[in-house]
């Protein structure tokens, strides 16, 4: 089996250990990835650039790289198709306030909304933390209204 076949197999299977061994055999004097994490990043980048790899695998690596803060080598004409295969997840928050008094309802809703926006501005995306902040804002506003 040729080295190119092994490299392609490692790209398809994301075989980190295999690519490190192969790297040392094919180019013994060249610097190899020092950790398995570096090798995984290199595999994903190579996967997005390799035209011989199926689009499904290239799209997965494209999403993985973007989600982990690394640039993707996927050509621009394939990015829309890749985004459809592996869309970027997005979160949302629902706010529900029930009161027979519109002023109370609006005040509590606005306090909870401000808590959510502040959490997002702080870079917090954990739903449990956001929910706790919303509940805290609700209770603080209720106390301020004398409820």
Of 93, 90, 109, 113, nearest to 101 by C-alpha is 109
Query: Would you list the domain boundaries of the chain?
Result: 3-85, 102-145
Q: What are phi and psi of 19, to 5 degrees?
A: -70, -35
Instruction: Point out the least confidently predicted range of 67-71, 89-93, 96-100.
Output: 89-93
Of 29, 28, 30, 3, nearest to 18 by C-alpha is 3
Give pLDDT, residue 79.
92
Q: What is the mean pLDDT of the chain?
A: 90
pLDDT in tens, 114-124: 999 999 999 88
Q: What is the mean pLDDT of residues 49-73?
A: 93
Q: Which two tokens stand for residue 31?
A: 């610097």
Question: Binning pLDDT at 50, 70 and 90, where does residue 91 land?
Answer: confident
Residue 93 has pLDDT above 90, yes or no: no
Residue 5 has pLDDT above 90, yes or no: no
Would you say the pTM of this structure is higher than 0.75? Answer: no
Q: How far is CA 26 from the centre of its chain?
A: 33
Q: What is the mean pLDDT of residues 57-84?
A: 93
Give pLDDT, residue 1.
58
pLDDT > 70 in the chain, percent:
99
């Amino acid at each position: 089996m040729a080295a190119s076949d092994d490299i392609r197999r490692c790209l398809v299977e994301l075989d980190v250990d295999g690519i490190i061994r192969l790297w040392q055999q094919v180019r013994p004097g060249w610097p190899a990835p020092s950790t398995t994490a570096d090798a995984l990043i290199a595999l994903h980048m190579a996967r997005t650039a390799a035209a011989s790899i199926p689009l499904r695998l290239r799209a997965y690596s494209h999403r993985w790289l973007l989600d982990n803060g690394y640039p993707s080598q996927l050509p621009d004409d394939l990015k829309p198709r890749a985004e459809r295969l592996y869309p970027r997840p997005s979160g949302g928050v629902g706010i529900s306030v029930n009161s027979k008094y519109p002023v109370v309802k609006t005040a509590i809703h606005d306090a909870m909304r401000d808590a959510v926006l502040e959490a997002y501005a702080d870079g917090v995306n954990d739903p449990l933390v956001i929910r706790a902040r919303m509940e805290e804002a609700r209770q603080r506003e209720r106390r301020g209204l004398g409820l």
